[in-house]
Amino acid sequence: MAFLTPTAALVALAVVIPLAAHALLERRARRVSRHLTLTPPPFRSRLGVPLAIVAVAGLLGLAAAQPVLSGTRAQVGRNDAEVYLLFDISRSMLAKAESGAPDRLTRAKRLGQQLRTRLGDVPFGIASLTDRMLPHLFPTLDATLFVSTLRDAVGVERPPPAGQGPLATDFNALGNIGPYNYFRPQTEKRLLVVFSDGESKPFDDVVLRSQLRQHRVHVLFVHVWNSRERIFLRRNQPDPAYRPDPDSSREAGRVADAGGGEVLGEDIGALTSAAKNVLGTGPATKLREQRTRVSLAPFVALAALVPLGFVLLRRNL
């Protein structure tokens, strides 16, 4: 067992206040008993309340120290390959065919989840893109962590772009995936799967190609787009300021070509095959020990209710 905040246990020292109050009350009660020529109860029979107060303080101090039970869990998978799923989270990813249909980002996340399931022996990471890249999860074999991150952390304009303008997506930022150490240095096969509608600011694909190839990053571009899609406002009215960009297919192709890959549609079968072609096969390796941790603080805090109940019961007797 370990403690996350051991110094927080000092809060238990506050027990001296109720103990002092109890001692004063006990002293006054015995003084009154002597004046009335009554025999006060023995000290031994009066120790229950102060002991219970000490127990409450001790348990709360222990809970404040945040005790945890830590363990290890072996993770076996490929040590030579890693995959990043990069989701375009600009506002245009809200577009959809009709008001009740899933939007582009929802469809992209669904494809990403399916790809992760089909390549379960490869560590997967998650990142987002507007006018900058942001890592949400570094490559891991932990399926539960992957699912929760994809569900809770990836959303349109979360965070919003730093700049202002009708287009937020900037594919120039893809070049940061190599020098910013998104992949482990020893990873030989590095795959970046971009889920985007391809509607972006102007970018330099020559520089991007140099950056991606220098760091051995292969790109598959999943073009999540349809010319009939619109962004729907309240009351299911299409946003008149948005129109699908017909040049998005060309921009998607430029990104894929810079990463030595290809452009794919919303077809999980084709995406899986393309990813397997890039990653190939590799030996199963014990990557590392995945630490698991269970917090005991809530249970310890609940246990303090037992001596506290005893104190309250004796007070009312």
Q: pLDDT tens for residues 119-174?
A: 999 999 999 999 999 999 999 998 999 999 999 999 999 999 987 777 899 999 99
Residue whose entry in the numeric block shows the structure tokens 């009335």: 36
User: When comparing pLDDT for 174 and 308, which is higher?
Assistant: 174
Q: How far is CA 306 from the centre of its chain?
A: 36
Percent of the chain with pLDDT over 90: 61
Instruction: Write down the pLDDT at residue 51.
Output: 83
Q: State the burial class of residue 157 (Cβ atoms within 10 Å of its Cβ: 0-12, 13-18, 19+).
A: middle
pLDDT of residue 25: 76
In the chain the domains, ranked by start, together with CATH numbers, are 2-71+292-315 (no CATH), 80-282 (3.40.50.410)
What is the average pLDDT score of the chain?
A: 89
- Which pTM was predicted? 0.74
The rounded distance, in Å, linking the Cα atoms of 170 and 202 is 7
Structure token pair of residue 257: 């070509």
Q: What is the DSSP string of 276-301?
A: HHHH----EEEEEEEEEEEE-HHHHH
The residue to which tokens 């190599």 are assigned: 178
**Per-residue confidence (pLDDT) for residue 287, from 0 to 100:** 65
Side by side, the strands of the sheet bearing 133-140 are 133-140, 124-129, 81-88, 189-196, 217-223, 262-264
Yes or no: say if 255 and 171 are a contact pair by the CB < 8 Å rule.
yes
The answer to whether the CB of 141 falls within 8 A of the CB of 77 is: yes
What lies within 8 Å, CB to CB, of 237 at 6+ separation is: none
| pLDDT tens digits along 193-205 | 999 999 999 999 9
Tell me the per-residue pLDDT of 52-94, one tens digit each, with 9 for 90 and over.
888 888 888 888 888 888 766 677 899 999 999 999 999 999 9
For residue 291, the model assigns a pLDDT of: 63
Give whole-number Cα distances, 183 to 83, 133, 186, in Å: 9, 14, 8
**Comparing C-alpha atoms, which of 56, 116, 129 is closest to residue 89?**
129
Looking only at the bridges linking them, the beta strands covering 284-295 and 67-78 are antiparallel
Residue 89 C-beta-side C-alpha neighbours within 13 Å: 25
Q: Identify which of 103, 167, 176 has the alpha carbon closest to the alpha carbon of residue 134.
A: 176
